[in-house]
Each structure stands twice: as structure tokens, then as C-alpha cells.
Chain A
């Protein structure tokens, strides 16, 4: 398996523009997580899905952020409109089941820069 695949690897956009980050989880994994990493705040869990259903989105910072998982092999994280403070590395991770004890497998991340 190719692992968790994220695209794009790098994104530079202007403030106010819409940004869409994409993730393909590992086949057969039924949990998917979106994290944001910054120097100031470290790794923050934004939202996670189980069997394509959003379970907890309490980490989503604002209404400008939205995430979808239309099927088991694809998820998006959208920021509209983007702001400079959204600049960060966004990671997607997947896990084979929801119960504790199973680690998550991470993609290589999308480095977002909003200018």
C-alpha cells in the first residue's frame, strides 16, 4: 500500500482565496483524522471521521474550515476564505479501527502558506 496520500504537498495562496486540501487514506482504514501543525500550537486535531461520518469537529477553528469525506477513499479539508494565520502544515492520518490501541498512519502533509 502507498500509505496515506495528501495533495498538494505545498500550497501558496493569497488571503481571501479558497483552499482545498486532499487526502486518500490507506485502503481498509475506517478512521480518518485531519491535524494542523504550527510552531506555536504544535499538533492540533481538527476533525475526525469514522466510516465516512464526522464524529468530532470541535477542533475546527472557525466556520471558514470545513471537511468532507464523500467515500472511504477520499477526504477534503477546505478553507474559505483563507487568512495568513491559517499558514501551517496540515496532516491527514488514517487508522484501521476506532478503538484505542491502534496507531494512526500519517501522510506527508500539505504545507500551506497564505500571503
Chain B
């Protein structure tokens, strides 16, 4: 079956630090990959996505590259801000089945001023 594994949190960084949140996946088909962000008290919002190998998704300074050879989709940002504090979820949809999104457990990111 499909699964997503992401690094455990919380991750605590100082403002302007470099961010990496690791995500690896297992899929039976050829998945599309997503990063969602959840701010306190809110639902999940799509942050970025990539639908095929070597695609790079980017938004709000965040980037992630679809690496088929390592089955990874790591999230990066060069300089984080306090407003980036949230929970980040890596997710996939299997291109062959579309059984809804499969999510990782989420990584709580805390940015300190």
C-alpha cells in the first residue's frame, strides 16, 4: 500500500535559518506529491505540489523536488520567518488509483524570533 514518512517534530529554528523537512514515500503506482500546511485552528492548505519526477514545486519561498530515485520530496526554505510556524504535512495521491490523499503524520515547525 501507499505510505508517507516524514521527520518527527517539533522542529525549532531561529528566524532566518534554513529549513529542511524530510519526506519519503512508498507507492504502488506513480504518485503525485504534495506539501500541505496547517496553521493553528485551521484546516489544511496546499503549499506546493509536483506531479512527475524531477518536478520542483514552489510557493511562498518553499521548494520541494520530486526525486523518484530516492522516493523523496523534501521541503526546503532558505530563510524562515516566525509566520511559518505551523504543522507541515507531506502527502501523495497514487496516480493509478486516486484513493484520496495519503498523509504523513505531520511535522510541527516552531520559528523563534
Interface residues of A (CB under 8 A from B): 4, 31, 33, 42-43, 45, 48, 55-56, 91, 93, 98-109
A33 CB to nearest B CB, Å = 5
Please classify the interface of chain B as helix (H, G, I), strand (E, B), loop, or mixed, using the class held by over half of its residues: loop
CB neighbours of A101 from chain B (8 A): 32, 51, 93, 95
Report if B69 contacts A (CB, 8 A). no
Most buried by A among B46, B93, B94: B93
Query: Is the beta-carbon distance between A91 and B101 smaller than 8 angstroms?
Result: no
Report if B98 contacts A (CB, 8 A). yes
Known contacts A45-B100, A101-B32; is-contact A106 B43 (Cβ 8 Å): yes
CB neighbours of A103 from chain B (8 A): 34, 46, 49, 101
A102 CB to nearest B CB, Å = 8
The 7 closest A-B pairs by CB, nearest first: A100-B95, A106-B43, A42-B105, A100-B93, A43-B103, A101-B32, A106-B44
Query: Is the beta-carbon distance between A42 and B103 smaller than 8 angstroms?
Result: yes
Query: Is the beta-carbon distance between A56 and B103 smaller than 8 angstroms?
Result: no
Q: Which of B93-113 touch A at CB < 8 Å?
A: 93-106
Query: Is the beta-carbon distance between A107 and B43 smaller than 8 angstroms?
Result: yes
B23 CB to nearest A CB, Å = 14
Q: Report the separation of the CA atoms of residues A101 and B101 in the bound assembly, to the nearest whole angstrom.
A: 10
Query: Is the beta-carbon distance between A108 and B42 smaller than 8 angstroms?
Result: yes
CB neighbours of B46 from chain A (8 A): 103, 105
CB neighbours of A99 from chain B (8 A): 95, 98
A111 CB to nearest B CB, Å = 9
CB neighbours of B95 from chain A (8 A): 99-101
Partner of B100, one of A4, A42, A104: A104
